[in-house]
């Protein structure tokens, strides 16, 4: 029982950090009157994702680890872009880089069973499973888009397209949660949707002001 409490505490702590990053970014953007990419956003992202890897490892849950592995290294890239990553102690950097790989290798034996369960889930129709998975995939790919955009523009940023993908993916996940009557998915995404919508408004307002200035 004590072990389970520790494991779930790690999972909830990870989700708390993900919620905190949204709140921090939203507040700072409102103050600045434009979309910003604060260092704290990426610090919370790396810390939350690292805890989620640990949670997935302890739960022997392949899907959690697989779902995080792409965005995790993009978080690190953004920290490096802001000059923070190289300031960390080499041992800490090594730990942060190695943890997802170690977790992935440790439970890779579950991958075939995960695939089988995914495709033959009697509780969820295949169309609904594919719809929910598409929402999760879009939610993950937003960080790939953010990385490509930031590299092209020479620094870490959170562009309009990132927030559009966030809102679309989140809406799909919430819809999936409503159909499945899953309060965790609904509550986990519904709060973020407010921030995503507000960031879209701020980004559009900034673009409009820039066009008028020209």
Question: For the segment 187-197, what is each residue's pLDDT rounded down to a tens digit?
Answer: 778 878 999 99
Mean pLDDT computed over 45-49: 94
- Report the pLDDT value the prediction gives residue 8, as an integer from 0 to 100: 83
Range of the domain at 156: 2-213
d(CA 126, CA 6): 34
Q: What is the pLDDT of residue 130?
A: 84
Q: Is the pLDDT of residue 1 over 60?
A: no
**Based on the structure, what is the number of domains in the chain?**
1
- pTM, entire model: 0.86
Residue with tokens 């995080």: 68
Give CA–CA dist 108/65, Å, rounded: 10
From residue 19, give the alpha-carbon distance in Å to each of 49, 103, 192: 12, 24, 8
Report d(CA 87, CA 155) in Å as an integer: 18
Q: Over pLDDT 70: what percentage of the chain?
A: 93
Q: Cα dihedral angle (80, 84, 86, 88), rounded to 10 degrees?
A: -130
> What is the distance between the alpha carbons of residues 39 and 18, in angstroms, rounded to a whole number?
14
């Amino acid at each position: 029982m004590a072990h389970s409490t520790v494991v779930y505490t790690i999972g909830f702590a990870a989700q708390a950090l993900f919620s905190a990053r949204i709140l921090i970014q939203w507040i700072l953007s409102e103050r600045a009157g434009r979309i910003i990419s604060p260092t704290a956003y990426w610090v919370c992202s790396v810390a939350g994702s690292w805890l989620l890897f640990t949670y997935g490892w302890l739960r022997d849950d392949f899907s959690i680890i697989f779902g995080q592995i792409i965005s995790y290294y993009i978080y690190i890239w953004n920290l490096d872009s802001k000059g923070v990553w190289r300031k960390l102690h080499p041992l800490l950097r090594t730990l942060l880089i190695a943890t997802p790989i170690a977790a992935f290798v440790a439970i890779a034996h579950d991958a075939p069973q995960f695939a089988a369960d995914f495709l033959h889930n009697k509780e969820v129709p295949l169309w609904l499973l594919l719809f929910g998975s598409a929402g999760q995939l879009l939610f993950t790919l937003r960080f790939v888009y953010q990385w490509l955009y930031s590299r092209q523009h020479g620094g870490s940023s959170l562009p309009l397209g990132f927030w559009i993908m966030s809102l679309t993916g989140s809406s799909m996940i919430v819809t999936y949660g409503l159909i499945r009557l899953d309060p965790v998915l609904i509550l986990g995404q519904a709060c973020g949707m407010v921030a995503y919508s507000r960031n879209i408004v701020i980004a559009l307002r900034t673009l409009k002001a820039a066009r008028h200035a020209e």
